[in-house]
């Protein structure tokens, strides 16, 4: 009898879950190896580590506009985010170098507002913190927390230095039902003591993908 009841309960839950199966459709993908940057404003292209990336950016960013999306309840946005060279995380040195903030905005709503730190721990064991994978300013994580690869070469001032660039695999699922979507990626970098700010710290994007999801 107990086995029969257990089986009935399992069937009920499986049937309930079946109603929640995702119906996903990829509506945008770009690895930037071709020439097309359709829908992207302020598109920059640069070779990094054997691949073409969108960027590099410093005190700027790009917009991605998508129109005529099929009916959906959610949007999943994913991409590779490269944090190049000397990002200072949450550091505040009287406005000289930090905090170094990165943002993702969708349809005017702020979904990512965080900092990244590429700094090493000092001799006392202090590690200049970053907010990621949480939001700034209310989080203090070790440098490179949540990274997918911390052994990539730097670009400019840290050119060739292994560990000079950190890769983060970003995925964000948001409620979204509109036929149009505007994704904006921006930074707020502070390095007033650098003669060439973009050479001091920058960022780039690769493998940008957008899916619409129905439940």
What does the DSSP assignment read for 5-17?
A: HHHHHHHHHHHHH
Do 107 and 182 form a contact (C-beta atoms < 8 A)?
yes
The more confidently predicted of residues 125 and 152 is 152
Q: Is residue 159 part of a domain?
A: yes
Q: Is residue 8 part of a domain?
A: no
Question: What CATH number is given to the structural domain containing 48?
Answer: 2.60.120.260
Q: Is the pLDDT of residue 17 over 80?
A: no
Amino acid 2: pLDDT:
45
| Position 128 confidence tier, pLDDT thresholds 50, 70, 90 | confident
Q: Is residue 13 part of a domain?
A: no
The more confidently predicted of residues 6 and 128 is 128
Do 103 and 135 form a contact (C-beta atoms < 8 A)?
no
Q: Is residue 18 part of a domain?
A: no
Q: Is the pLDDT of residue 1 over 60?
A: no
- Joined together, the tokens standing for residue 102 give 């990165």
Count of helix runs (H) and strand runs (E) in the chain = 2, 12
Q: pTM for this one?
A: 0.88
Amino acid 93: pLDDT:
76
Q: pLDDT tens-digit profile of 33-90?
A: 987 898 999 999 999 999 999 999 999 999 999 999 999 999 999 999 999 999 999 9
Q: What is the mean pLDDT of residues 86-97?
A: 85
Q: pLDDT tens-digit profile of 168-196?
A: 999 999 999 999 999 999 999 988 888 89
Amino acid 6: pLDDT:
42
Q: Is residue 106 part of a domain?
A: yes
For 7, phi then psi, to 5°, come to: -65, -40
Q: Is residue 10 part of a domain?
A: no
Which residues of the chain form beta strands (DSSP E)? 23-30, 40-41, 45-48, 51-57, 61-66, 74-85, 101-106, 109-115, 149-153, 162-175, 181-188, 201-214
Which domain covers residue 185, as residue numbers?
23-214
| Position 138 confidence tier, pLDDT thresholds 50, 70, 90 | confident
| Position 121 confidence tier, pLDDT thresholds 50, 70, 90 | confident
What is d(CA 186, CA 102) in angstroms, rounded to the nearest whole number?
A: 6
Q: Is residue 15 part of a domain?
A: no
Q: Is residue 4 part of a domain?
A: no
Amino acid 46: pLDDT:
95
Amino acid 67: pLDDT:
98
Q: How many folded domains does the chain comprise? A: 1
């Amino acid at each position: 009898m107990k086995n029969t009841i257990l089986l009935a309960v399992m069937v009920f839950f499986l049937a309930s879950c079946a109603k929640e199966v995702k119906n996903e459709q990829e509506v945008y993908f770009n690895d930037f190896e071709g020439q097309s940057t359709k829908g992207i404003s302020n598109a920059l292209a640069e070779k990094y580590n054997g691949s073409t990336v969108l960027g590099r950016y410093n005190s700027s960013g790009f917009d991605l506009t998508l129109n005529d999306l099929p009916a959906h309840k959610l949007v999943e946005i994913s991409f590779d985010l490269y944090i190049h060279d000397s990002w200072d995380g949450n550091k505040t040195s009287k406005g000289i170098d930090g905090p170094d903030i990165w943002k993702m905005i969708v349809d005017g709503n702020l979904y990512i507002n965080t900092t990244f730190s590429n700094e090493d721990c000092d001799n006392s064991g202090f590690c200049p913190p970053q907010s990621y994978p949480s939001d700034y300013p209310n989080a203090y994580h070790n440098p490179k927390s949540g990274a997918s690869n911390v052994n990539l070469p730097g670009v400019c001032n840290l050119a060739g230095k292994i560990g000079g660039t950190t890769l983060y695999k970003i995925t964000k699922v948001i409620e979204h039902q509109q036929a149009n979507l505007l994704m904006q990626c921006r930074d707020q970098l502070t390095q007033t003591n650098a003669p060439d700010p973009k050479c001091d710290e920058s960022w780039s994007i690769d493998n940008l993908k957008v899916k619409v999801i129905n439940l």
